[in-house]
């Protein structure tokens, strides 16, 4: 029965040779190669839970008065968008579980991409012939950030409304074209027209997921076409990949990982509260709350907005570059721009245009490791500055001092990290050399001491 | 409860203090005069107290805001060095210095939580965060509200301690104040759904959970699954 079905499919698709190849595809044998897969499965969970949410979400800015399950909001005026999210949380079967899982999945999706990116960066996996794969990955990261921001904004609660207000002011701050861009996206001055909500909705549930899925497909095809990289080791060469085949080796691993990711996300969704929009209340223009923060993966932008000293670039009365531009727009552009340019920069400076299928260990490329560590430290410090207000309230560390500290630290610490990391890499290399020489010498001595074996 | 214990301790340890009725003016001269001047006339180190009324004295003393340790500081909540009876005497003394508002008697049970939420978002959340978890504003730490009693909430609204603005009746009526107090009281233990509430402040602790809990768990899974099967 199975045999005849398989034959039926094969005779009509001619897929057997391809399938055989796919099943014999070799996966390298190191845990860090699984981080990308974690991101992949988080994305699958996002799509799955997201579809469920679309069945109940109402992207309308028409207002209503709430008379649902949840007493503390009774009688309040709110948009249907907000009302429907409250209903998803309290009325829809498994709605809160799915909503929270969706949100946790978004948070964890970006965590996994960042970890994956770190692995790729520090092992030099982005080098030719995989730079294209790397660019696709970076683009997906950028899209994931925007997609998360859109999802966060759709709920129309107090925090998301404030998040949109910040986004609007950042877009407005782009020199020359900012005002027109914002007008174009919002369809009018903040908070925009109802069309803006449908635009966000279409972008969040259709355009961005489709874009990410397409890029993801291309990313995976490229990985498969170029094969995985691998660490140096016995029998591993630039031409030969050593590892486990898709089947029976990798398949159970992947399935296991998929189950684990799904389990972790649903556990979080069921057990840990995330974005309790019913506590934030509905958004009304000109109302706000202290310490409104976007989701964690945009915290670095909030940190940057806080750290940039308050100044505008003006010509006469005309404000050329309003302040939010530096932290909200230029900063992420610099970070992404640098990451994008890095494969090219590295080729330029090392003159290394060769194909690379074997990975470097971080110590093998001291400059790259040092630069990566410095960049990461820079972004991480700015990110931490984004929560300075909570640190102040919780631990009584003066806000002003913290900001002053960060303003200096973000320039000093990365340089220190750069120098120290490079030094450490070089020392590690040197100690390995010494070790190898000692081993060789010992071997030699042993051979000289021992009598020639009698054959 | 904590206050009761403190009072009990003081009563047990210092029976003399409990027996004789404490003198307001005496306590004032000892603890407040250096900053607020004789008869509450004010000095460079502390404002005039004539006319601030029982309401201000009650709030500043029962929150432990006063006596301030150093004049430049923002007053913060701590355990008051005075017994309840000493505070009563001090409040009466400060109230006697001039005309002022009495201690308010809010009735949160007459208020409505949804109305309170709306008022709180409109007037207070910009500083205190929408669930009353506090925050930073230029020049001050805005305290979380989980320790403020109903009376203290009403007092704070009317007197506006430190950088906080004052909200007179024309702005927030007594009925609205009842709702506001009801909301702040409710927000100390809001109707939580969805599991472990990680502080009601949103993304900062959420990011921590995403990295430390989920991130660690998933990397651990990768390490376990990715371990080479030496066979």
Question: How does pLDDT run across A25-40, given as a tens digit for each residue?
Answer: 888 778 888 999 999 9
**Final residue before a domain boundary, out of B72, B87, B102:** B102
Q: How far apart are CA A192 and CA A186, in angstroms?
A: 5
Can you give the residue range of the structural domain that contains B64?
A: 20-102
**Final residue before a domain boundary, out of B52, B81, B102:** B102
Q: What local confidence, expressed as pLDDT, does residue B3 receive?
A: 52
Q: Are B147 and B198 found together in one domain?
A: yes
Q: For residue B86, is it within any domain?
A: yes
Nearest CA in chain B to A397: B141
Q: Are B133 and B72 found together in one domain?
A: no
Residue in B66, B90, B88 with CA at minimum distance from that of residue B76: B66
Q: Give CB contacts under 8 A, 24+ apart, made by A169-172.
A: A169/A322, A169/A324, A169/A328, A170/A301, A170/A324, A170/A325, A170/A328, A170/A329, A171/A329, A172/A322, A172/A324
Q: Quick check: A393 and B226 CB within 8 A?
A: no
CA neighbours closer than 13 Å in the CB half-sphere of residue A240 = 6
Q: What local confidence, expressed as pLDDT, does residue A197 receive?
A: 92
Measured over the CA atoms of residue A367, residue A368, residue A372 and residue A373, the dihedral's sign is negative
Q: Quick check: A158 and B121 CB within 8 A?
A: yes
Residue B12's pLDDT band (cuts 50, 70, 90)? very low
Q: For residue B152, is it within any domain?
A: yes
pLDDT in tens, A291-315: 788 889 998 999 999 999 877 777 7
Closest partner CB to A296 (pick from B194, B207, B225):
B207
What is the average pLDDT across B166-176? 95
Closest partner CB to B135 (pick from A34, A261, A393):
A393
Q: Which residue has the higher pLDDT, A320 or B129?
A: B129
pLDDT, block means (10 residues), chain A with 455 residues: 86 82 80 92 97 96 92 94 96 96 97 96 92 95 96 94 91 90 90 90 96 96 86 76 77 90 96 94 87 87 90 76 88 96 94 88 93 96 92 90 94 96 95 92 86 64
Residues of B numbered 40-99 whose beta carbons fall under 8 angstroms of chain A's beta carbons: which are they? none
Q: Are B184 and B134 found together in one domain?
A: yes
* pLDDT surpasses 80 at B14: no
Please list the alpha-helical segments (H only) found in B32-67.
Answer: 33-36, 53-62
Q: What local confidence, expressed as pLDDT, does residue B231 receive?
A: 40
Q: What local confidence, expressed as pLDDT, does residue B15 receive?
A: 43
Q: Are B120 and B196 found together in one domain?
A: yes
Residue in A188, A210, A209 with CA at minimum distance from that of residue A61: A188
Q: Are B108 and B157 found together in one domain?
A: yes
CA neighbours closer than 13 Å in the CB half-sphere of residue A292 = 25
Q: What local confidence, expressed as pLDDT, does residue B203 receive?
A: 87
Residue B7's pLDDT band (cuts 50, 70, 90)? very low
**Final residue before a domain boundary, out of B85, B102, B119:** B102
pLDDT in tens, B30-70: 999 999 999 999 999 999 999 999 999 999 999 999 999 98
> How many domains does the structure of chain B reveal?
2
Contact residues for A415 (Cβ-Cβ < 8 A; gap 6+) = A374
| Residue whose entry in the numeric block shows the structure tokens 């921001």 | A149
Task: Report the percent of chain B where pLDDT is more than 90.
Answer: 75
What residue ranges define each of the domains in chain A, with the CATH number in brackets?
A: 21-285 (1.20.810.10)
Q: What local confidence, expressed as pLDDT, does residue A385 receive?
A: 93
Nearest CA in chain B to A76: B114
What is chain B's mean pLDDT, rounded? 89
Q: Are B189 and B120 found together in one domain?
A: yes
Q: For residue B4, is it within any domain?
A: no
Contact residues for B135 (Cβ-Cβ < 8 A; gap 6+) = A290, A291, A389, A393, B127, B128, B129, B142
Please list the alpha-helical segments (H only) found in A282-398.
Answer: 299-307, 324, 331-350, 366-385, 388-395
User: What's the gap between Cα A352 and its chain centre?
Assistant: 29
Q: How many helices (H) and strands (E) does chain A have?
A: 18, 6
CATH number at residue B48: 1.10.760.10
Q: Which two structure tokens, joined as six digits, stand for A279?
A: 């506590």
What is the average pLDDT across B5-10? 48
Contact residues for B69 (Cβ-Cβ < 8 A; gap 6+) = none
Q: How far apart are CA A195 and CA A431, in angstroms?
A: 64
pLDDT in tens, A122-165: 999 999 889 999 999 999 999 999 999 999 999 999 999 999 99
Region of B94 on the Ramachandran plot (φ > 0 left; ψ -120 to 50 alpha; else beta): alpha
Q: Are B98 and B153 found together in one domain?
A: no
User: What's the gap between Cα A314 and its chain centre?
Assistant: 35
Among B72, B75, B130, B200, the residue to mutate for chain A (most A Cβ within 10 A): B130
């Amino acid at each position: 029965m199975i045999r005849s079905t398989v034959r039926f499919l094969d005779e009509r698709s001619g897929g057997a040779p391809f399938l055989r190849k796919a099943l014999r595809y070799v996966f390298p044998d190191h845990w860090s190669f699984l981080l990308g897969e974690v991101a992949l499965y988080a994305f699958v969970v996002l799509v799955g839970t997201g579809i469920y949410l679309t069945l109940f979400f109402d992207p309308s800015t028409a207002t209503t008065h709430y008379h649902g399950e949840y007493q503390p909001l009774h009688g309040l005026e709110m948009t249907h968008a907000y009302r429907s999210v409250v209903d998803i949380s309290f009325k829809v079967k498994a709605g809160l579980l799915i909503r929270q899982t969706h949100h946790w999945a978004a948070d964890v999706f970006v965590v996994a991409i960042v970890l994956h990116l770190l692995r790729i960066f520090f092992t030099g996996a982005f080098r030719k012939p995989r730079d294209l794969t790397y660019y696709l990955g970076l683009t997906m990261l950028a899209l994931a950030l925007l997609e998360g921001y859109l999802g966060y904004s759709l709920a129309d609660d107090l925090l998301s409304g404030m998040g949109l207000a910040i986004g609007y002011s950042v877009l407005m701050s782009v020199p020359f074209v900012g005002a027109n861009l914002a007008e174009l996206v919002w369809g009018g001055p903040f908070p925009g027209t109802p069309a803006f909500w449908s635009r966000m909705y279409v972008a969040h549930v259709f355009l961005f997921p489709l874009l990410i899925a397409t890029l993801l497909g291309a990313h995976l095809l490229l990985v498969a076409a170029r094969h995985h990289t691998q660490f140096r080791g016995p029998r591993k060469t630039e031409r030969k990949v050593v590892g486990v085949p898709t089947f029976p080796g990798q398949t159970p691993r992947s399935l296991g990982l998929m189950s684990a990711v799904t389990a972790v996300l649903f556990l979080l969704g069921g057990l840990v509260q995330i974005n309790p929009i019913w506590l934030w209340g509905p958004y009304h223009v000109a109302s706000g709350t202290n310490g409104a923060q976007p989701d964690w993966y945009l915290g670095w932008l909030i940190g940057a907005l806080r750290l940039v000293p308050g100044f505008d670039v003006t010509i006469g009365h005309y404000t050329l570059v309003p302040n939010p531009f530096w932290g909200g727009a230029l900063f992420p552009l610099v970070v992404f721009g640098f990451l994008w340019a890095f494969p090219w920069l590295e080729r330029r400076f090392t003159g290394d245009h060769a194909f690379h299928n074997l990975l470097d260990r971080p110590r093998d490329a001291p400059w790259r490791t040092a630069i990566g560590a410095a960049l990461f430290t820079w972004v991480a410090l700015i990110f931490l500055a984004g929560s300075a207000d909570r640190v102040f309230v919780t631990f009584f560390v003066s806000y002003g001092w913290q900001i002053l500290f960060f303003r200096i630290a973000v320039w000093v610490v990365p340089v220190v990290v750069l120098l120290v990391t490079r030094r450490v890499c070089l020392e590690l290399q040197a100690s390995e050399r010494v070790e190898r020489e000692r081993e060789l010498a010992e071997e030699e001595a042993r051979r000289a001491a021992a009598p020639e074996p009698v054959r | 409860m904590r206050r009761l214990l403190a009072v009990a301790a003081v009563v047990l340890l210092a029976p003399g203090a409990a027996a004789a009725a404490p003198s307001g003016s005496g306590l004032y001269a000892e603890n407040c005069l250096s900053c607020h001047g004789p008869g509450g006339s004010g000095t460079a180190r502390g404002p005039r107290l004539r006319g601030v009324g029982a309401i201000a004295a009650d709030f500043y003393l029962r929150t432990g805001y006063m006596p301030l340790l150093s004049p430049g500081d923002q007053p913060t909540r701590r355990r008051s060095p005075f017994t309840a009876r000493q505070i009563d005497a001090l409040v009466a003394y400060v109230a006697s210095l001039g005309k002022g508002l009495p201690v308010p008697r809010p009735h949160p049970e007459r208020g409505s939580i949804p109305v309170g939420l709306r008022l709180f978002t409109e007037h207070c959340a910009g500083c205190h965060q929408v669930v009353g978890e506090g925050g930073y504003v230029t020049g001050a730490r805005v305290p979380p509200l989980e320790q403020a009693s109903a009376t203290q909430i009403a007092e704070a609204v009317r007197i506006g301690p430190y950088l906080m603005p004052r909200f007179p009746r024309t702005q927030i009526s007594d009925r609205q104040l009842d709702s506001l107090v009801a909301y702040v009281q409710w927000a100390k233990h809001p109707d939580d759904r969805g599991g472990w509430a990680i502080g009601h402040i949103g993304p900062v602790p959420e990011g921590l959970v995403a990295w430390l809990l989920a991130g660690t768990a998933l990397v651990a899974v990768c390490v376990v699954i990715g371990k080479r099967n030496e066979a």
